[in-house]
Amino acid sequence: MNSEHFVIGVDYGTDSVRSVIVNTKNGQEVAASVFYYPRWKEGKYCNPERNQFRQHPLDYIEGVEQTIKKCLQQAGEAVAANIKAISVDTTGSTPVAVDKTGTPLALLPEFAENPNAMFVLWKDHTSVKEAAEINEHAKNFATNYLQFVGGIYSSEWFWAKLLHVFRADAQVRNACYSWVEHCDWIPFLLTGGKDATQIKRGVCSAGHKSLWSEEFEGFPPDEFFATLDPLLKGFTSKLPGETYTSSEAAGTLSAEWAERLGLSEDVVIGIGAFDAHMGAVGGQIEPYYLSKVMGTSTCDMLVAPADEVKGTLVRGICGQVNGSIIPGMIGMEAGQSAFGDAYAWFKNVLMWPVKQLISQSDIIDADTAAKLIVDIEGRIIPELSRLADQLPLEENGELAIEWLNGRRTPDASQLLKGAFLGLDLGSDAVKMFRSLVEATCFGARKIVDRFIEQGVPVKGLIGMGGVAKKSPFIMQMMADVMNMPIRIHKSEQTCAIGAAMFAATAAGIYPKVEDAMAAMGQGFDAEYLPDSERVAIYAKRYERYSEAGAVIEKLTMEH
């Protein structure tokens, strides 16, 4: 194989987009660039109090162009001349309303500042009511159309968001031709698509978030949606019945984008997928090992040979879809709505007096105050982690429930709220932080327990993402709470590297993605093993967490 073959992996995260150029022979990262969404950074089009989080398509377009160009500048002309493919992953479900040409409505002058015409970010929970209606409505049909998404439809997903936007905004509803996931739209953009009916939908997004299934020969029938709300009547006719795996090509780079990026029109553009799905591949997922992408939230991925889990349906997860991660295997997704976000929330609570009062101080000048705030903000989590790690582990003590952004799995409910229990006058920031970290680990264990209860074994854990790489304290607690080892993948950018592996497969450099994984995978650089003494104590605290969570859930749902 020619050692001068290179591919580009593009990873769209919540706050930024990262592109990497990778050598297909050995997985070496040749160049990397990050672009932080400017409009998102300013807080535009979002209302956290209403759980509204929207992103402007220009953030995405500017990001992919700038990061790829910078990567090519870093890598040099020889590498640029040998770029063979580009593949993209994104957050999800993050859909947008498009017109007949496939253009997001927010790119039209009349909708340029309308949040409803923008991408509805995965963590937007404005459609809680619509999700509840879908779950209730599904009970009216002999066929269980929710069976492959864990039996519960989430407000984070495709149809709930579409219905909410249609109800909230008649102008957007009337202008909308179709509703498209971010991971499906970017390949359409790069291939120069001009017809929304020609958008190639990935089986990843369609199967896990949109109710598409081979068993239904596509989406549920129009009757399902029309009787849910007449606003959805006929909408499935605008969606394609066929889906594609990420090992397939969406097309080649358009003349416009080839010129903008300085690449050949022969560059293959792969079918897109969600970040955690490609991240699992970048992290060298193995059958029955739970691959945990740990960032602001977590996405937990598991693959199993189709013939071994045929007929097994895991209740309360985010779906199981043939080929959604690795073609030929069933891909299963779970996760937590807040992981790193829970720690960031606690940091922000502690930072409130620092930000509000230091900037008003007459003792130091404004420039020093600003530098001091940045310095303290960067130190809080590492110092809390260091001190929390020194606390003795006892059966009793502060306890937390981590549902600060609702619960993704098991059993999705964005209505649920977080809580602290067992506080007294001896409770301080370190003890509260420790209990919050413990709660995120307990929430992770709930997911593993659900897989095992439903007949899918979990042999071990693979950790990826910022939290996994940066916090030995949290990862050791995870191993102890789970009572199983967790290997930490060497790559800092498993999602982007996974996208690169799929790009190499879509370009035909490797016949299947498992071969790309074997050749381009970077391996593991750490492993945390459970401590038997701590395992026993955590098991007792986990029982308390489970009991407290049941009480909090009951109180929340009653109100």
Among 262, 179, 290, which Cα is nearest to 225's? 179
How confident is the model at residue 361, as a pLDDT?
87
Question: pTM here?
Answer: 0.89
Counting every residue, how long is the chain? Answer: 559
Element housing 304 (H / E): strand 298-305
Mean pLDDT of the chain: 95
Dump pLDDT digits (tens) for 322-365.
999 999 999 999 999 999 999 999 999 999 999 999 988 889 99
Those residues with Cβ within 8 angstroms of residue 338's Cβ, 6 or more apart along the chain or in another chain: 296, 297, 345, 402, 403, 404, 405, 406, 418, 440
The Cα 267–Cα 189 span in angstroms is 14
For residue 101, pLDDT over 80 is answered with yes
Which tokens in the block code for residue 450?
A: 């659900």
Compute, in degrees rounded to 10, the torsion defined by CA atoms 49, 51, 57, 58: 20
pLDDT digits (tens, 9 = 90+) for 361-409: 889 999 999 999 999 999 999 999 999 999 999 999 999 999 998 998 9
Look at residue 437 and give its three-state secondary structure.
Answer: helix
Confidence (pLDDT) at 146 = 96
Q: Give the pLDDT score at 3.
A: 58
Strands (E), 6-127: 6-12, 16-23, 29-36, 54-55, 83-90, 95-98, 119-120
Per-residue pLDDT for 1 more than 50? Answer: no
Distance CA 517, CA 497 (A): 10
Helix (H) or strand (E) holding 366: helix 366-389
DSSP annotation of 401:
E
Cα–Cα distance, 462 to 411 (Å, whole number): 23
- Give the residue-averaged pLDDT of 490-505: 95
d(CA 293, CA 200): 26
Mean pLDDT lowest for which of 80-84, 214-218, 372-376, 411-415? Answer: 411-415
Domains of the chain: residue spans and CATH: 6-283+491-525 (3.30.420.40), 340-489+529-558 (3.30.420.40)
Residue 297 has a pLDDT of 87
Distance CA 382, CA 437 (A): 13
Token look-up 């020194």 returns: 390
Per-residue pLDDT, averaged over 549-554, amounts to 94
E-assigned strands of 192-297? Answer: 249-252, 268-270, 273-274, 289-294
> How far is residue 529's CA from residue 292's CA, in Å, rounded to a whole number?
16
